[in-house]
Amino acid sequence: MANHHRSNSLPPSTHSFLSKLLLFLTILPLALATLAFVLQWRGGSVSDPTTATSRWAPRGSRREVFPGMETSSSLLPNYHHSSNCINLGRSSSPSFPYYRDWKFGFEDSLKPKICITTSTSAGLAQILPWMFYHKVIGVTTFYLFVEGHAASPNVSGVLESIPGVKVIYRTKELEEQQAKSRIWNETWLSSFFYKPCNYELFVKQSLNMENAIFMARDAGMDWIIHLDTDELIYPAGASEYSLRQLLRDLPSDVDLVVFPNYESSVERDDIKDPFGEVSMFKKNYDHLPKETYFGLYREATRGNPNYFLTYGNGKEAARVQNELRPNGAHRWHNYMKTPNEIKLDNAAVLHYTYAKFSDLTSRRDRCGCKPTQEDVKRCFMLEFDRAAFIIASTATEEELLHWYREHVVWGDKDLRLKLLRKGILTRIYTPMAIIQALRESGVFSSVIANAPATLSRDKFMSSINSSNSSRDVPSVSFSSRKIGGEGENKASARKLLKIEAMAAEVAAVPPLSPPVWTDNDRSRIVERVAGGNSSI
């Protein structure tokens, strides 16, 4: 036994070697872990792709990070458009920034292709949330006819840098082209000519829509929508929250799609960001039972001239095809046929009208009409706009705020709850959530930071080079659109022009108020209630 034990024992030198090896293997990972911690804590040579500049980059080169891992704080040194960044938000968490030069490679395969055209003088704080929200729901292309603040270098430079966005400036060249357009030489829009303020804007929008049709057709667009930058498409009724899905599911013989509008119903007088703060809307007549609409009409109007403060006839999407033409800012038509038009039962346009107290004074400052009952009729088409202009032009700030609270703000909680229960008012949160997510992800701040610091307008003429089908029509001076003098003479001469009588010469559809409560409606509702109808 003793001999056997001695034969299996190890020499002392071997024991020493194994002990040292075990000690080394124990200490090594601890040392490496400690070293890594120290280097990371000191910001050393362990390269973090979200925060560190590549050590292989040439000295003085631009800092690069992995796409999708940049933080908003890294954008701040290049944030050169600070005056246009109000309410666009910043985030310190990793975000998915919007890069101007990214080519996603899938837009060509998406069907249908949808474009939006607008005429705007707004700033980035309004345009960017509006635009990227519609990108989320399937719009790929935007034709922006810009004036005022929207045409300034700090704003238009950012807009021009965004893929899928065409910026068109109101230059002398554009005005001369539109003065030769088919619209300006026909009669369906003529009742809106030679009038200021809203009428002039309505004509300008229609002319811009005509240009947008040619650009959309050249770009291979399938659908075109005219939308203001205070309006969001709400694609309810689709199998997914997608305007593309909604339009793709339509029969192929549908030419026009009406989106009834819902009107914002603000609950405070200090709203600064309507898209992010307003969730309550008044439903359109088309989406309500007639008994509910007329039965609660007076409570819903709250002493205002109409059920809605402004228009109530919605907006329309048009299939891009030959002989398509605008029919005013709210509708489209076709020169060669009566288009097949449908109205959607669930989807809507969310209209954020008078959502901010400052909207009262901004409308006043844009129009040079006199604040009299007679003069406002030639400036504004809708009664509430006329009343708002007069009060904004004649009242003190305190009086104006009181008027705003009484006529616009829904301060009566009991009335709100009643109309919410009856379905007149509704809560819609999805657009707010989408825009808030875009803001927190750093999309808006990123696109501003990555835009060129200077603006080039060299591309302008190419954006309006698409010729109208009636270029051979004699030129009409654009100055003739002003009221009085030579303009009125040319208006008289227009009546002498020989114009073909076509069924397609349908008069332009103006912004219209919803149906008005009448004595007949009252009698009909009373009869239904007396007959046992308790749905009101």
**Left if phi > 0, otherwise alpha if psi is -120 to 50, otherwise beta: which for 535?**
alpha
**Is pLDDT above 80 for 7?**
no
**Contact call for residues 326 and 316 (beta carbons, < 8 A):** no
213-228 pLDDT per residue, tens: 999 999 999 999 999 9
pLDDT top residue among 462 and 525: 525
In a domain, 535, yes or no: no
Calpha distance 345→514 (Å, rounded): 16
Residue 363 pLDDT class (50, 70, 90 cuts):
confident
Q: Which residue has the tokens 């990972």?
A: 29
**Is pLDDT above 60 for 519?**
no
**Contact call for residues 516 and 309 (beta carbons, < 8 A):** no
Average pLDDT over residues 78-91: 46
**Contact call for residues 483 and 194 (beta carbons, < 8 A):** yes
Domain that holds residue 338: 114-443
The closest alpha carbon to 214, from 303, 326, 133, belongs to 326
Calpha distance 500→32 (Å, rounded): 88
Residue 365 pLDDT class (50, 70, 90 cuts):
confident
Give residues with Cβ within 8 angstroms of 458, minimum separation 6. none
**Is pLDDT above 80 for 32?**
no
Calpha distance 7→352 (Å, rounded): 95
In a domain, 284, yes or no: yes
424-477 pLDDT per residue, tens: 999 999 999 999 999 999 999 999 999 987 544 444 444 434 333 333 333 333
Is the bond leading into 153 cis (omega within 30 degrees of zero)? no
Calpha distance 487→492 (Å, rounded): 9
Calpha distance 479→483 (Å, rounded): 9
Average pLDDT over residues 389-408: 96
**Is pLDDT above 80 for 493?**
no
300-342 pLDDT per residue, tens: 999 999 999 999 999 999 999 999 999 999 999 999 999 999 9
* Helix segments in 151-296, DSSP class H: 153-160, 172-179, 198-218, 243-248, 274-277, 290-295
**Is pLDDT above 70 for 151?**
yes
pLDDT top residue among 270 and 496: 270
- Lowest-confidence region among 7-21, 37-51, 186-200: 37-51
In a domain, 31, yes or no: no
Provide the β-strand partners of residue 141.
115
Give residues with Cβ within 8 angstroms of 200, minimum separation 6. 481
Average pLDDT over residues 343-369: 92
Q: Strand 114-120's sheet: what is its strand order?
A: 165-169, 141-146, 114-120, 223-226, 315-319, 256-259, 341-343
The token pair at 430 is 């999805």
Q: What is the 3-state secondary structure (H, E, C) of 445-488?
A: HHHHHCCCCCCCCCCHHHHCCCCCCCCCCCCCCHHHHCCCCHHH
105-118 pLDDT per residue, tens: 455 568 899 999 99
**Is pLDDT above 70 for 20?**
yes
Average pLDDT over residues 353-375: 90
In a domain, 207, yes or no: yes
Residue 26 pLDDT class (50, 70, 90 cuts):
confident
**Is pLDDT above 60 for 205?**
yes
Residue 39 pLDDT class (50, 70, 90 cuts):
low
In a domain, 328, yes or no: yes
Q: Averaging pLDDT over each range in 106-120, 182-196, 198-212, which range is the top one?
A: 198-212
Calpha distance 536→423 (Å, rounded): 11
Count how many domains the chain has. 1
Question: What phi and psi, each to the nearest 5 degrees, are found at residue 345?
Answer: -85, -20
Percentage of the chain beyond pLDDT 70 is: 68
Average pLDDT over residues 265-277: 97
Report the SS3 class of residue 102.
coil
Query: Across the chain, what does the average pLDDT equal?
Result: 79
In a domain, 508, yes or no: no
153-168 pLDDT per residue, tens: 999 999 999 999 999 9
In a domain, 480, yes or no: no
